[in-house]
């Protein structure tokens, strides 16, 4: 479920980036840019977002999972 939500969010952000850069993409095409170059530009930006999300998300997930496991052990041992 989390992967599906991440994919939908990534799609939304990519669609927004493309819509906000429609004029720039049009100018690039008018000046002779090939379609694969424009697609590569969009994919590169999307890949940068994915890498940034993984770099920030994995440490946060590891830290939060150890915190939650500590809290579960504490609550089951009668610590509260």
- In tens, the pLDDT along 25-77 reads 999 999 999 999 999 999 999 999 999 989 999 999 999 988 888 888 877 77
Structural domain span for residue 56: 2-76
Which two structure tokens, joined as six digits, stand for 7? 């994919």
* 70 torsion bin: left (phi>0), alpha (psi -120 to 50), beta (else): alpha
pLDDT for position 80: 56
More confident residue, 6 or 80: 6
Split into its structural domains, the chain has a count of 1
| Residue 79 pLDDT greater than 80, yes or no | no
Q: How many residues are there in the chain? A: 80
- Predicted TM-score of the model (pTM): 0.69
pLDDT at 19: 94
């Amino acid at each position: 479920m989390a992967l599906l939500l991440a994919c939908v969010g990534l799609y939304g952000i990519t669609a927004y980036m493309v819509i906000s850069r429609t004029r720039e993409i049009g100018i690039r095409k008018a000046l002779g840019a090939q379609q694969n170059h424009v697609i590569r530009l969009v994919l590169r930006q999307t890949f940068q977002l994915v890498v940034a999300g993984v770099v920030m998300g994995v440490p946060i997930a590891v830290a939060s999972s150890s915190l939650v496991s500590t809290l579960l052990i504490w609550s089951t041992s009668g610590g509260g």
